[in-house]
Structure 1
Amino acid sequence: MNGSNRLAAEKQKIVQEKCLAILTGMLKDDDNKYCVDCDAKGPRWASWNLGVFLCIRCAGIHRNLGVHISKVKSVNLDTWKPEQAVALQQMGNSRARAVYEANLPDNFRRPQTDSALESFIRAKYEHNKYTAREWVPPRLPKVNWDAEIDAMIRDQKHRKGSRGRVESPAPLLTKPLAAPSPV
């Protein structure tokens, strides 16, 4: 692998590490510990354009909505772009519920059967039945981590370079040191 390919691969690795750090950090938030649609514990999927964390069952339903409505990825199995991770970071389950469930009936109970759950998810995201009237979806954020990543790579190279260097020992004395003069 030549130098520019190695550098590109190193940058891509750092981007993925940063994206994964953002996502796993978000999954520690109480509201993101449960699927936004069915409340199943431990979601490992996300719809990055809607900004929500999902269980595998709801992720399948979201995929059936089509990418014009929901863009689904695995939190830790897929490759993420910085804009996608930051878009998810800007929303999260708690804000998403405030937006997409603003007009849910007070006595609403989350559906548990597959067909009822799919109907709810379609009403929620495809037909915007419960969405806050004033909601305007934000544009995809512009993210540029280039300078930060370049600095990280320079620091790593500097540390590697200093680790491989052997310090020369102190010079050997050829004459004995003079004894201190008495005071």
Structure 2
Amino acid sequence: MAGKNDRDRTKVIQDRLQVLLTQMLKDDDNKYCVDCDSKGPRWASWNLGMFLCIRCAGIHRNLGVHISKVKSVNLDSWTPVQVASMQLMGNSRARAVYEANLPDGFIRPQNDQALEQFIRAKYEKKKYIAQEYVPEAPPDFPDGWYQLIEAEKQKKDR
């Protein structure tokens, strides 16, 4: 019986984390890929805390997991710490950090080769990073986590 309870608990946790990720994707800056600006990103680099389109997610995977850890927003399983990492950064802050020193009038590359060069310069070489940036560890649980649990409890109590 413990097996079924564990599966149920895992599903409840995943459902709650999906709610939080879906809410984040509604944020204006998260509606576009952080690297190429294409609409409706469904992928994320959870350790960098940013939302990506499928094309840029593929490039991020090629960077290696020591730089970018990529997963699908809704096809993969998430942990609370991974979602908290996304909340800590998000696309607006990620751009402020990783694109702090982009040249004035910079136009985002659109062809695959130029896009890969841009992404490698940005995250591998840290060419445009804000000098004062110090990464912080995400909390154990995402913002809104406890409110979701309370709402769930109240539904059950009715």
TM-score under structure 1 length normalisation: 0.78
Segments of structure 2 that go 5 or more residues without pairing to the other structure are none
Quickly say closer, same or farther: Cα 1:9–1:150, change in 2 above 3 A.
Answer: farther
Local SS of the residue matching 2:39: coil
Aligned residues: 155
- Percent of pairs identical after alignment? 65
1:11 corresponds to: 9
Segments of structure 1 that go 5 or more residues without pairing to the other structure are 160-183
Q: Which has the larger radius of gyration?
A: 1
User: What are the residue-to-residue correspondences of 1:154-169 with 2, within 5 Å?
Assistant: 156=156
Local SS of the residue matching 2:89: helix
Cα displacement (A) at 1:7: 2.0
Tell me, in whole angstroms, the C-alpha distance in 1 between the residues paired with 2:131 and 2:113: 27
Local SS of the residue matching 2:17: helix
Runs ≥4 in structure 1, deviation > 4 angstroms?
148-155
Quickly say closer, same or farther: Cα 1:152–1:30, change in 2 above 3 A.
Answer: closer
Tell me, in whole angstroms, the C-alpha distance in 2 between the residues paired with 1:123 and 1:151: 44
1:143 corresponds to: 141
1:126 corresponds to: 124
Tell me, in whole angstroms, the C-alpha distance in 2 between the residues paired with 1:130 and 1:52: 16
Tell me, in whole angstroms, the C-alpha distance in 2 between the residues paired with 1:18 and 1:36: 24
Aligned with 1:43 (options 19, 41, 44): 41
Summarize deviations over 1:30-83 as a string: whole Å, max 9, x none: 101100000001100000110110000000000000000000000000000111
Which amino acid letter does the alignment assign opposite residue 136 of structure 1? V
- Note the aligned Cα RMSD (angstroms): 2.1
Does 1 or 2 have the higher relative contact order (CA < 8 Å, sep 6+)? 2
Aligned with 1:69 (options 67, 70, 75): 67
1:20 and 2:18 are equivalent in the alignment: yes
Local SS of the residue matching 1:87: helix
Cα displacement (A) at 1:149: 5.2
Cα displacement (A) at 1:143: 2.5
Quickly say closer, same or farther: Cα 1:150–1:110, change in 2 above 3 A.
Answer: closer
TM-score under structure 2 length normalisation: 0.90
Cα displacement (A) at 1:11: 1.4
- Contact residue 88 and residue 138 of structure 2 kept, 8 A: no
Which amino acid letter does the alignment assign opposite residue 48 of structure 1? W
Tell me, in whole angstroms, the C-alpha distance in 2 between the residues paired with 1:34 and 1:45: 11
- Contact residue 11 and residue 149 of structure 1 kept, 8 A: no
Local SS of the residue matching 1:76: coil
